[in-house]
Amino acid sequence: MAKGDPAVSSRGRRAAPRSRRTAATGEPELVQLLTPTGERIESAVGPDGTEYRVDFTDEEYRGLYRDLVLVRKLDAEATALQRQGELGLWASLLGQEAAQVGSGRALRSQDMAFPTYREHGVLYCRGIDPIMPLGLFRGVDQGGWDPNEFKFNMYTIVIGAQTLHATGYAMGVHMDGRTGTEDGEAVIAYFGDGATSQGDVNESFVWASVFNVPLVFFCQNNQYAISEPLERQTRVPLYRRAGGFGFPGVRVDGNDVLASYAVTRHALDNARLGQGPSLIEAYTYRMGAHTTSDDPTRYRIASEVEAWQAKDPIARMKAFLDKQQIADADFFASVDEQARAESVHLRERVLELPDPAPVSMFDHVYPHGSPEVDAQRAQFSRYLESFEGSAH
């Protein structure tokens, strides 16, 4: 790790601020299998000596590239829809495609994921119709997919709350005897760098560790919690928090889909084999705003954004495919065309999403119902009916 890290430094106090910044946000030591220029690295070694490598077929490489392009395009479409007033809000994943596709494709069908509100790429990998989260942001529902059918939970907006749900679910997996074998189940919890300051995330670290649950904590460190930079959340690299809780942590190049896949697959396999939790810090960057409500030019400088632009996850994958002659111009064109067509289709369907019936607000408050809610529903229905034929 960086030599100036304050946790191991014997330097005087005056030197601390500089080294603190270096440790938290400087150029990290990370697992990388594909360089920003598209050079393939055969294998990479994590901090605990684990060697990471992937071996994909050409078709699989092309598939990952297709995923990256599609989720970026669909995300861009959603951003545009928000700008045109069709969505109330959108939390863009721009820049984080590799972390999400890499980890999402590493999941097996039996694995359960607990997302935040930005995991549109993971959602896509779980086979969920990409229109689903748009209902939430348009305000016609609160997320429409079945978490149990797709093994992908509802988006969680309260920061870090879902890490505890993931931990409890993983306890259940263990109690159901579904760990300890090659085909065991694993659980993954997504959260951001800001969430690591939350009590719930730290409590979930404690729980996961002492109960040794089959859980992968997947932190997408995109460098900012809305406007607050990483050094407002931590003085040590986030992946190293894991050591204090008693499980392994690794930092991966989150803009590298191959490394994100390799590291996540390894962690999930360890979990399903009964070897307990681990923390992955996917070191990445949010290229856009936190949500469409904020203005990132107020809190970060252009040169920083440009530096990350040079690490773009799609450009490097494209360069790799090109150099290795895994894909040709026709392939790239067909992917672009598919993305364009899917985004047009998405747009059409979003515009057609019907508003819910007003009386539906009373549905599903309680599984067993409630006389109070039932009475209010009936009263509201009579109230609505009183307007029929009037010019309200």
Partner 1 sequence: MATETLTLGKALNTGLRRALENDPKVVIMGEDVGKLGGVFRITDGLQKDFGDQRVIDTPLAESGIIGTAVGLAIRGFRPVCEIQFDGFVYPAYDQIVSQVAKMHYRSQGKVTIPMVIRIPYGGGIGAVEHHSESPEAYFSHTAGLKVVTCANPQDAYVMIQQAIASDDPIVFLEPKRRYWEKGPVELDAPLSGAYPLHSARVVRPGTAATVLAYGPMVRTCIEAATAAAEDGRELEVVDLRTLSPLDLTAVYESVRRTGRCVVVHEAPGNLGLGSEIAARITEECFYSLESPVLRVTGYDTPYPASRVEEEYLPDLDRVLDAVDRSFGW
Per CB under 8 A, which region of 4-12, 23-31, 45-53, 162-170 contacts partner 1?
162-170
- 290 as an active site residue: the answer is yes
DSSP 40: B
Using alpha carbons, list the distances in angstroms from residue 266 to 51, 59, 221, 240: 10, 21, 19, 18
- Report residue 158 as tokens: 């309260």
Answer for which of 36, 46, 130, 168 binds partner 1 (CB under 8 A) is 168
Which residue's CB is nearer to partner 1, number 40 or number 364? 364
Which of 241, 265, 290, 347 is flagged as catalytic?
A: 290
Q: Does 304 bind partner 1 (CB under 8 A)?
A: no
CB of 208 to partner 1, least distance (A): 9
Q: Does 297 bind partner 1 (CB under 8 A)?
A: no
Which of 174, 251, 286, 316 is flagged as catalytic?
A: 286
Cα gap 173→131, rounded to integer Å: 30
With beta carbons less than 8 A apart as the criterion, state whether 108 and 268 touch.
Answer: yes
3-state secondary structure (DSSP) of residue 4 = coil
Cα gap 171→191, rounded to integer Å: 19
Instruction: Show the binding pattern over residues 188-227: x = contacts partner 1 (CB under 8 A), - = does not.
Output: -----------xx--xx-xx--x-----------------
Which residue's CB is nearer to partner 1, number 78 or number 154? 154
With beta carbons less than 8 A apart as the criterion, state whether 115 and 150 touch.
Answer: no
CB of 293 to partner 1, least distance (A): 20
The label of the residue with tokens 């995923």 reads 67
CB of 275 to partner 1, least distance (A): 19
Instruction: Show the binding pattern over residues 272-291: x = contacts partner 1 (CB under 8 A), - = does not.
Output: --------------------
- 161-175 and 199-210 are packed helices; what angle lies between their axes, rounded to 10 degrees? 20
Considering CB under 8 A, how many residues would be counted as binding partner 1? Answer: 43
Q: Does 161 bind partner 1 (CB under 8 A)?
A: yes
With beta carbons less than 8 A apart as the criterion, state whether 170 and 111 touch.
Answer: no
Element (H, E) at 152: none
With beta carbons less than 8 A apart as the criterion, state whether 120 and 75 touch.
Answer: yes
Answer for which of 12, 49, 354, 371 binds partner 1 (CB under 8 A) is 371
Beta-sheet pairing, 44-45 with 215-221 = unpaired
Answer for which of 37, 89, 372, 383 binds partner 1 (CB under 8 A) is 372
Q: Which of 206, 200, 202 is nearest to 158 (CA)?
A: 200
CB of 139 to partner 1, least distance (A): 13
Which residues have CB under 8 Å from 59's CB, separation 6+?
none
Q: Does 142 bind partner 1 (CB under 8 A)?
A: yes
Q: Does 176 bind partner 1 (CB under 8 A)?
A: yes
Answer for which of 45, 89, 333, 365 binds partner 1 (CB under 8 A) is 365
- Report residue 80 as tokens: 């545009």
Q: Does 359 bind partner 1 (CB under 8 A)?
A: no
Q: Does 263 bind partner 1 (CB under 8 A)?
A: no
Per CB under 8 A, which region of 3-11, 63-71, 271-279, 367-375 contacts partner 1?
367-375
Per CB under 8 A, which region of 59-67, 165-173, 255-263, 293-301 contacts partner 1?
165-173
The label of the residue with tokens 């951003």 reads 79
Q: Which of 219, 318, 269 is nearest to 106 (CA)?
A: 269
CB of 372 to partner 1, least distance (A): 4
For residues 166-186, one letter each, b for 16 or more C-beta atoms within 10 angstroms of the residue's C-beta and e for the rest, the string is bbbbbbebbeeebbeeeebbb
- Report residue 291 as tokens: 């949500």
Strands, E assignment, the chain: 44-45, 51-52, 112-114, 187-192, 215-221, 224-225, 228-229, 249-253, 278-283
Answer for which of 147, 243, 246, 296 binds partner 1 (CB under 8 A) is 147
Which of 299, 340, 364, 383 is flagged as catalytic?
A: 299
Q: Does 137 bind partner 1 (CB under 8 A)?
A: no
**Residues within the interface to partner 1 (CB under 8 A):** 114, 141-144, 146-148, 153-154, 156, 158, 161, 163-173, 175-176, 199-200, 203-204, 206-207, 210, 363-368, 370-373
